[in-house]
Structure 1
């Protein structure tokens, strides 16, 4: 296992992300550090990075280097974006960073920056057609893609710092917001391609402002899942938050739960820009991406093929990342998944569940033993927690919660209805019956590979009167597997109203 570091020096903040690179092309983030540097502050006057901002950036990068050394990092990817890209004193700044910090910092072109943002999004969200917005301190990226190819991109040289500074004199917070809205609508009016987007396009928000927005909405709505990636915010909900925030001064904004105190004075400029974009398009919701430019670099490093072609099975890649990281028995997990899906198809006449639940069953089956790494005796409880907090890519929050409960209900008597009710805003009433039926399928599939030998090759089911007869195709002695699977008979009767026989 190797360690890599991604250092992202933006116009507003600097971030360090440390990741383990696992064999077979997977990575797991294990630490990060973020510092506000405000590198673009006051740049608009003469185009130079100011000495106080340079000093703060260098101090931050030295601290990042110390963390890299402490973690025995094998490779550092360090890059700067718009502020350094536009700075007239770029060269002297980079020389100072190289001398003091001991690593080379690359300056990304506008095209390189937007491409890396796109890599982060397209390899972590199942959204085939989208428009990505990434707002930094001094610029805004808009990227249109379709069929996993970039069609259009625009880099507007205005961000949260520049907008906040531009409309800051003798104005109330509300007046400032209104002026930014008007100004940004004029900017968007000059972009022809956003005027003719077909209804299949989705609006994807990337960056700290969008993540903070999601955190605020989740706190307001008492959202039970601590995950902002792939979180959907409707335009109506956004407008309510915006109306609340735009009248507050910086001090009051800093007290908003979910909003970073370092972002309080510039947050409304981001919201005003988003509001203008929504007004300039037909989007009625936004999808928050927790992955962006830094994840783009990590994907490119660990899966070099993503430079040419995005990951095809995003969910599968994300699941296998965790299986490798936890060092689980992957052949067993795969065989249980295969048997579970066979049972799902064979029992379709009884469970009558739509095909969308196959994804839920796949997640549950492949990850059902992740809790073993915490405690064997309570492994299904811990697997539930592990799945719920896995931040899996390529899956909706609803499917993630359902998969976690499918594992938790290994014995239906262990299904906590009080715990289930906490997720009432995510799951639907009919999902509970589906969870119970999928849980029984998973328990039987797991039992049929009790010795982890793959002895049970295939299953066929016959529904005869009040019984279901499962016929197994086996290699060798499978008495252990069949005996263990028959232990699910009572739960099978409860979920399917049929008696269970296994041959």
Structure 2
């Protein structure tokens, strides 16, 4: 097992994470810290890093160094971005850091910063074409992605802190000031010729994007407190934008979801996002909780294991296996057998349910993870599995899809309206989604029942759909006793008829 540290020192904040890579190649984060240091404050006027900002950063770095020492971590990736990159005394500050803490920090150019943000995004959000923006305190990195490949990338010296200082948007903002700010931003960003009218979804990285998501979630009473992969429409963004621009700094702090530490820079940050919306013609913002730090980890991971690329071809498959690798004492052969049988049932019954391959993927994911709740408690483990699936770092699904998969697993011991109403986040799936959950959970229940004794006996399934019944012929391993599986599967025939409208007949060949 290996632990490595990652430090990201930006213009507004500094972040520190410790990642752990187990011998089975699964990784997880075991520690994180974030502090607002405003290293880029005053940079617009003086061109230098202030003593106050440097002292705040150094205080954090001393703590991080101590944590690395007590954990015996020798592998550290420490990077500095726009503020240090642009400051005349940036190199001097890095030398000071090295002498006082022993941390060898590297300034990365804007293009590399954009690339790392791209890696963190493309490995955690299932999207083919998009415009990624990483908005920091002193710069914004823009990356145009088509078919998961970088087409264009650029770093523009516009950040939430520097734009705030330029237009004094910390407090109340007049219409004239806001108009001047937006005019300046449009003129600056319009120099990026390929940005105009691309009409692709935006993917936002950074504190501004995360706070926009949090404010929208609170305004909509959105139940799931997950920021990563949260979808914000332009219409909803404009509602948030109007809210933050009509208030002064102290009043902004009262907006639900807005961090008090970001209340003074949110107007400038939101103005940059609005300008990107307007120029690109986009109508959707997907918020990413992953970025540069994850990009550094994935780059290292790929080199460590000799992968062809740090961009994973199937992020859902990778993250599911990574999650399972971090959970001990699970019966993987049983979970894989249940997933196999579930897929066979789905395929055989497709003329009856009519669902597409995407629903099949959600069902198989639920099947692979249906027993992870046993790590909490064997009793009621289906409901524990649902909670874990809904909150785990499983990438490659939307938040809604992840909750559908969670609920399918949650009902693999049977479904009832009473339990459904009692579930937290039950309002995220639509009524149509709940119909999917009910039908697919019956298939998962039947599949799990077919391996009730953990002997993996079912090898083949043949489904015949008649006008008056559904006949499922199961072929077990030669000589394998199928009576326990049949006994358990029979318990779900009533639920099958309720959900699919036809009686179920089970035949063992």
Q: Return the offset for 1:309.
A: 5.2
Moved more, 287-296 or 476-485: 476-485
In 2, Cα distance between equivalents of 1:119 and 1:302: 12
Q: Which deviates more from structure 2 when the two are superposed, residues 380-389 or residues 401-410?
A: 401-410
The CA distance in 2 between the partners of 1:52 and 1:448, in whole Å, is 65
SS of the equivalent of 1:222 reads coil
Instruction: Name 2:258's counterpart in structure 1.
Output: 259
The structural deviation recorded for 1:23 is 3.3
- Runs of 4+ aligned structure 1 residues displaced above 6 Å come to none
Q: Tell me how far 1:25 sits from its aligned partner.
A: 3.3
- Alignment of structure 1 residues 66-77 onto 2, 5 Å: 66-77=66-77
Aligned to 2:293: 294
Q: Distance in 1 between matches of 2:76 and 2:234?
A: 39
User: Match for residue 493 of structure 1?
Assistant: 497
Say which is worse superposed, 63-72 or 104-113, in terms of deviation: 63-72
Write the distance in 1 (CA, Å) between the matches of 2:150 and 2:122.
10
Query: Following the alignment from structure 1 to structure 2, what is the Cα–Cα distance between the partners of residues 378 and 301?
Result: 39
Q: CA deviation at 1:96?
A: 1.6
Q: Classify the secondary structure of the residue corresponding to 2:357.
A: coil
CA distance in 2, matches of 1:194, 1:448: 54
Question: In structure 1, how many angstroms separate the alpha carbons of the residues matched to 2:466 and 2:153?
Answer: 60
Q: Contact conserved, 2:197 with 2:281, CA < 8 A, in 1?
A: no
Tell me, in whole angstroms, the C-alpha distance in 1 between the residues paired with 2:170 and 2:487: 79
Tell me which residue corresponds to 1:315.
316
Q: 1:24, CA displacement in angstroms? A: 4.1
Aligned counterparts, 1:41-440, within 5 A: 41-168=41-168, 172-175=172-175, 176-197=177-198, 199=199, 201-304=200-303, 308=309, 310-327=311-328, 328-410=330-412, 411-413=414-416, 416-419=419-422, 422-424=425-427, 426-440=428-442
Please give the alpha-carbon distance, in whole angstroms, between the structure 2 residues aligned to 1:465 and 1:216. 52
Kept in 1: contact 2:78–2:104 (CA 8 A): yes
TM-score in terms of structure 2 length? 0.93
> Taking structure 1 as the reference length, what is the TM-score of the superposition?
0.94
Distance 1:188 1:349 in 2: 51
Tell me, in whole angstroms, the C-alpha distance in 2 between the residues paired with 1:421 and 1:8: 35
Q: Matched residues in 2 for 1:482 and 1:300: separation?
A: 48
- Deviations along 1:5-39, one digit per CA (max 9) or x if unpaired, are 11100011000112221334332123211111111
Within the candidate set 472, 475, 479, 1:473 is matched to: 475
User: For 1:346 and 1:72, how far apart are their aligned partners in 2?
Assistant: 54
Question: Any conservation in 1 of the 2:227–2:287 contact (CA below 8 Å)?
Answer: yes
Cα distance in 2, alignment partners of residues 414 and 443 from structure 1? 17
Q: Is the 8 A contact 2:171 2:249 kept in 1?
A: no
Bigger Cα displacement from structure 2, 345-354 vs 159-168: 345-354
Mapped contact 1:369–1:379 kept (Cα < 8 A): yes
Deviates more, 1:5-14 or 1:413-422: 413-422
* Residues 448/183 of structure 1: CA separation in 2 closer, same or farther (3 Å cut): same
Which stretch of the first structure deviates more once superposed, 459-468 or 272-281? Answer: 459-468
How far the C-alpha of 1:41 sits from its partner, in A, is 1.0
Q: Distance in 2 between matches of 1:111 and 1:263?
A: 26
Q: Shift of the alpha carbon at 1:146?
A: 1.4
Which residue of structure 2 lines up, in the alignment, with residue 443 of structure 1?
A: 445
| Cα-to-partner distance string for 1:243-300 (whole Å, 9 max, x where unaligned) | 1110211111122221111111111101011111212221111111111000101111
Instruction: Tell me how far apart the structure 1 counterparts of residues 169 and 498 of structure 2 sit (CA, whole Å).
Output: 69
SS of residue matched to 1:252: helix
Q: CA deviation at 1:174?
A: 3.4
* Contact 1:299–1:306 (Cα < 8 Å) also in 2: no
The Cα shift of 1:234 comes to: 0.8
| 2:172–2:249 CA contact under 8 A, matched in 1 | no
- 1:256 and 1:76 map into 2 onto residues whose CA distance is 37
- Kept in 1: contact 2:47–2:87 (CA 8 A): yes
Q: Is 2:98–2:105's contact at 8 Å kept on the other side of the alignment?
A: yes
Q: Secondary structure at the match of 1:303?
A: helix
